[in-house]
Each structure stands twice: as C-alpha cells, then as structure tokens.
Amino acid sequence: MTAPTAPDRLLSVLAAFDHEHPALSLTDISRRAGLSLTTAHRLVGALTRWGALERDGSGVYHVGLRLWEVAALAPRGLALRQVALPYLEDLYEATHENVQLAVRDGGEVVYIEWLSGRSAVGVHIRVGARWPLHATGVGLALLAHSAPETQEEYCAAPLASFTPYTITDPERLRRVLADVRRTGVAVSDRQVTEDALSVAAPIRGRDGSVTAAVSVVVPQACTQVPVLVPAVRLAARGISRALGWQPETAERPGP
C-alpha cells in the first residue's frame, strides 16, 4: 500500500470538514484526517496562513474565505450559478416551489444552488450536498446525457435505495434514461423521500453538451407534472442560451 504523499495529507485536512462538521478542533481534524497531532498541527498552520482555514477565538477551525474565492473561478460552480440565477428566480416566481441547480461529479449530483419554495417536502438540500444520480431528477437528466460507457458503468454498479420507489433495477434505469433523452425532461417520483417529486431538464453549454440540470421539487400528493414541464424546460433553455448554446445553429441542416 502506497504511503500518503504530502499533497494527500494536505487534502485530507480539508476533507475533514463537511456539512455535518463545519467547525473542528485540531484534535478533531487529526482524528478525522487520520493524521498524527503533530502532522495535523503543521498542515493546519500552513492552510491557516494561506487562508484556506480560519481559527476563531475559541481555537476552533473553519473553512476560510480564500477557498470561496478560489471556488468562484470554477466554471461549474459559482460562475455557472451567477449565469443561471436570474432564470432560477424566474422559475421560482412561476411556480413558488423549490428550485435546484446541479452538476454531475462522477456518480453523484452536486447542488450548487437551491431556492426554497413554500411547499414543505422531506428533501432538505443544501448547496454542496450530494446524492446518487439515479435517485434525483437532476441526476437522471445528467446521467441520461452522459457518455454511453458512463451510463453502462453506473447501471452495472449497485443502486442505493432510499424509499420503496427508488430505482434499483438496472434495466428499469436504462429505460428511464432512454425516456429522458426522448422527452427532454426527467421525473423523479418519491425516490429520495416519499413526499417529494421533482421535474428536471438538462442545461447545455456552448458546445451543446449537457453541463448541468435544473429542477423543481414539489409535494408528490398535489403535483401536476404536465404543468411544471414547460416552466422547467424554459428555464433550462434560457440558462443554456446564456451559456452560449445556439440551438438555431445546432439544428440548422448542413449544405
């Protein structure tokens, strides 16, 4: 087994922080990162001097603003959020429901924006939260437009179950993905919690590839999917255009 390198140890310190552990003592960081206290102290000191971590008056460490500044440069993070936000707000005004913006990271969907609606549903998403692709509307939209080999690899792996309605059969998932490509929208019905349903649509970048997805999450009991579909599609199309996608050029027949 290869020993951890210096970069590995540095990254393990940052990985010690998550939504459940936003503030950690040096001892906590040492334990969660799997490092000796001496090594953790040295690395935490370096990260604090650079601004990746900040230490409060009680001696507890938090993620520093310097990381936020760096994250703002990510084209699939805050930069995408800035472009998409006006369209997300329009979608919220049209529906007054929960609105999500997400990207794919391997076999997971990562939420980079969430506008909370008036409906109370069991899914409480925070920016930075992750879920398996097959269990969410945005995840299905992203997976359906990924490379065929990526889809096959995902379908061949175990599919986590969260409710009795979660898709856990590979053949059924393949059929759902084909339907998403055919219709242009993904519907996730009670897959994460039994009270929520989401309608999602893919967002395309300048080159026409799917780079993100937008969705509306509503209570399953009172939803009308046909009413939500046009609004979600319109938002996705608006964000895609803002990112440089030109459907007219893509759809124009060649000479």
* pLDDT tens digit sequence for 86-105: 999 999 999 888 999 999 98
Query: Where do the domains of the chain lie?
Result: 6-70, 78-242
Task: Convert the pLDDT of each residue in 197-216 to its tens digit.
Answer: 999 999 999 889 999 999 99
Amino acid 224: pLDDT: 80
Amino acid 250: pLDDT: 47
The alpha carbon dihedral of 112, 186, 130, 6 has a sign of negative
The reply to whether CATH 3.90.550.10 applies to domain 78-242 is no
Amino acid 81: pLDDT: 85
Higher pLDDT among residues 63 and 143, named by residue: 143
Residue 254 pLDDT > 50, yes or no? no
First to last CA, the chain: 58
Q: What is the mean pLDDT of residues 150-170?
A: 94
Amino acid 82: pLDDT: 85
CA dist 97 and 160 (Å) reads 27
Higher pLDDT among residues 109 and 79, named by residue: 109
Q: Transcribe the chain into DSSP letters.
A: -PPPPHHHHHHHHHHT-BTTBSEE-HHHHHHHHT--HHHHHHHHHHHHHHTSEEE-TTS-EEE-HHHHHHHTT-TTTHHHHHHHHHHHHHHHHHH-SEEEEEEEETTEEEEEEEE--SS--S----TT-EEEGGGSHHHHHHHHTS-HHHHHHHHHS----SSTTS---HHHHHHHHHHHHHHS-EEEESSSSTTEEEEEEEEE-TTS-EEEEEEEEEEGGG--HHHHHHHHHHHHHHHHHHTT--HHHHHSPP-
* Residue 254, both tokens: 């060649």
Residue 252 pLDDT > 50, yes or no? no
Amino acid 129: pLDDT: 82
Q: Is the pTM value of this prediction over 0.85?
A: no
Residue 248 pLDDT > 90, yes or no? no
* Ramachandran category for residue 34: left, alpha or beta (phi over 0 → left; psi -120 to 50 → alpha): left
CA dist 203 and 33 (Å) reads 36
Fold for the domain defined by 6-70: Arc Repressor Mutant, subunit A (1.10.10)
Residue 130 pLDDT > 50, yes or no? yes
CA dist 185 and 140 (Å) reads 9
Q: Which of 144, 251, 246, 234 is nearest to 204 (CA)?
A: 246
Amino acid 255: pLDDT: 34
Task: Convert the pLDDT of each residue in 49-83 to its tens digit.
Answer: 999 999 998 999 998 888 876 776 666 556 788 88
Q: 100 with 111: CB under 8 angstroms?
A: yes
Please state, rounded to an integer, the average pLDDT across all residues of the chain. Answer: 88
Residue where the block lists tokens 């109370």: 120
Task: Convert the pLDDT of each residue in 217-246 to its tens digit.
Answer: 988 887 688 889 999 999 999 999 999 998
Surface-to-core class of residue 60, CB atoms within 10 Å of its CB (0-12 exposed, 13-18 middle, 19+ buried): middle
The alpha carbon dihedral of 248, 249, 254, 255 has a sign of positive
* Residue 16, both tokens: 């010690």
Amino acid 55: pLDDT: 92
